[in-house]
Amino acid sequence: MKDSINVGLQERSYQIDFGPGIISDISESLAEINFSRKVALITNVTVNALHGERLLSLLAQAGFDVTLIAVKDGEEYKNLETLSFIYDELVKAGIDRSCGIIAFGGGVVGDMAGLGAATFMRGVDYVQVPTTLLSQVDSSVGGKTAVNHPSGKNLIGAFNQPRLVVIDTDYLQTLPAREFNAGMAEVVKYGVIRNSEFFDWLNHHYQDLRNLKAEALVHAIKTSCQIKADIVEIDEKESSLRAILNFGHTFGHAVESLTDYQRFLHGEAVAIGMVVAARVSQQLGYCEEADVARISDLLIKLDLPVEVPKFPLSEYLEAMMHDKKVADGKLKMVFNKGIGDCLISQLDYPEVEFKTILDEVKGR
Ligand code: NAD
Ligand code: GLY
């Protein structure tokens, strides 16, 4: 039942394994990469309560010496204080550079454990075992790790590729539906920017995905990871191409920031951002109105928001100009070319391009 793809990055290459129930084979998978038998299992209290015991016992039965480190659950704990707690626990457990770290949870745990692995004793090998849809299709792949700073998200981080990613789709059985749908926004993103056949497939199979049908989940997650892996192989450190993964994120981040990160999950804000990006793309002649409608309709079918929250244009523009992606005071954005292709371009007159869209909102 196990399916795999490879992320080819010379000496930093690694495999991503997919399938329902594949966590049962974790010890064999770790042995295949000669992973240390002394490991720290970093998770959060929620994932630990649901799935920690099973993973601990699988590892213990196979003779691994495991120290469990469970952090508090929430984006608000993705900070230097929690990272410092992780360092303390790693020291207490006697972890050194010959040991390993397993990141077990959603994107918050994965990003934080990955940064811990990059920095503790100047680097410890780590493996990602992602348990949310977002982390299975996005954050566990590609090596971006980070914690937040009070002045911005993911400001303190490092590129640090894992040695292996183990994606057991059965973990999604316990994921709240809202979190699942938010992860689907990133899946739709891959279809829009890179693969129109996949976008069509999602339109036909979104119900199977929502019903957690294993075959459909594996196909969607594997295709998403393959698209991301292909991009990361070309541009690991986001000097050019990798930035296309930010489709919908420029406006999405502004939505998150204007709503104080309280009203929308990240994927929900990205859904709104993708529809706005598609509308701007249409205004600039990169796609048709029908493409915007198809993107919006699929997101609606996935119970994702597509309505732009009412804030003045000036506030949106200011929030977008604070984005990490702004270079030399110029806003760069990803535009979809039809469905299945995209381009990155500077937006010279954002106040004009976004005005029409926000005027439509005001008029409703
Ligand atoms: P998350 O890690 O906060 O997980 C969402 C919620 O689901 C949490 O409450 C978590 O405890 C719970 N959960 C996790 N697995 C579960 C399971 N199997 N069953 C039930 N509940 C479960 O959020 P996320 O959406 O996974 O990740 C968001 C984070 O990822 C953000 O911090 C973002 O910056 C980061 N991110 C990183 C990258 C990257 O490339 N590194 C890409 C995208 C997002
Ligand atoms: N989530 C975007 C990236 O990994 O580059």
Whether 194 shows a pLDDT value over 70: the answer reads: yes
State the average pLDDT over residues 166-175. Answer: 98
Residue closest by Cα to atom 44 of ligand 1: 139
Burial of 256 (0-12, 13-18, 19+ CB in 10 A): buried
Structure tokens at 163: 């040695």
Among residues 174, 192, 216, the one where a domain terminates is 174
Is the same domain home to 126 and 13?
Answer: yes
| Tokens of residue 64, six digits | 């691994």
Cβ within 8 Å of residue 92, ≥6 positions away = none
* DSSP per position, 346-360: EES-HHHHHHHHHHH
- Interval 269-283: pLDDT, tens: 999 999 999 999 999
Does 142 lie in the same domain as 194? no
Phi and psi at residue 94, in whole multiples of 5°? 75, 30
Q: Which two tokens stand for residue 180?
A: 């699942």
Is pTM beyond 0.95? Reply is yes
Is residue 325 located within the same domain as residue 255?
Answer: yes
> Residue 112: what pLDDT?
98
> Catalytic: which of 72, 210, 242, 301?
242
Query: Hey, which of 242, 253, 266, 324 would you mutate to test ligand 2's pocket, going by the most ligand atoms within 8 Å of its Cβ?
Result: 242
Model pLDDT, residue 353: 85
Same domain, 151 and 225: no
**Residue with structure tokens 């938010």?**
182
CA of 180 to the centre of ligand 1 (A): 10
Last residue of some domain: 174, 202, 219? 174
Which residue from 139, 225, 238, 249 has its CB within 8 A of the most atoms of ligand 1, so it is best to mutate?
139
Q: How many domains does the chain have?
A: 2
Among this protein's residues, is 144 annotated catalytic?
yes
Q: What is the CATH number of the domain that holds 86?
A: 3.40.50.1970
Give the residue from 70, 23, 74 showing the smallest Cα distance to 48. 70
204: annotated active-site residue: no
Determine the average pLDDT of the residues in 142-168.
96
Do 162 and 182 share a domain, yes or no?
no
Q: How far apart are the first and last CA of the chain?
A: 50
Given 174, 206, 228, which residue is the final one in a domain? 174
Closest by CA to 121, choosing from 103, 145, 96, 101, is 96
Does one domain contain both 60 and 47?
yes
- Does the annotation count 12 as an active-site position? no
Confidence band for 231, pLDDT divided at 50, 70 and 90:
very high
Quick one: 316 and 229 in the same domain? yes
Domain match, 266 and 131 both = no
Long-range contacts of 352-360 (CB under 8 A, 24+ apart): 353/280, 353/283, 353/284, 354/276, 354/280, 354/313, 354/316, 354/317, 355/313, 356/283, 357/276, 357/279, 357/280, 357/308, 358/308, 358/312, 358/313, 358/316
Mean pLDDT for the chain? Answer: 96
One domain, residues 10 and 140: yes
Residues 206 and 322 in one domain: yes
At which residue do the structure tokens 């480190």 appear?
A: 69
Cα–Cα distance for residue pair 83/54, rounded to 1 Å:
25
Give residue 87's domain range: 3-174
pLDDT of residue 326: 66
> What integer pLDDT is reported at residue 234 of this predicted model?
98
Relative orientation angle of helices 266-283 and 177-194, to the nearest 10 degrees: 30
Predicted local distance difference test score (pLDDT) of residue 177? 98
CATH of the domain at 203: 1.20.1090.10
Question: To 10 degrees, the CA torsion angle through 353, 354, 358, 363?
Answer: 0
Residue 211 among the catalytic residues: no
**Under 8 Å CB-to-CB from 284, ≥6 apart: which residues?**
335, 353
Is the pLDDT confidence value at 364 over 60?
no
Whether 163 and 218 map to the same domain: the answer is no
DSSP H helices in 262-349: 266-283, 289-301, 313-321
* Same domain? 155 vs 254: no
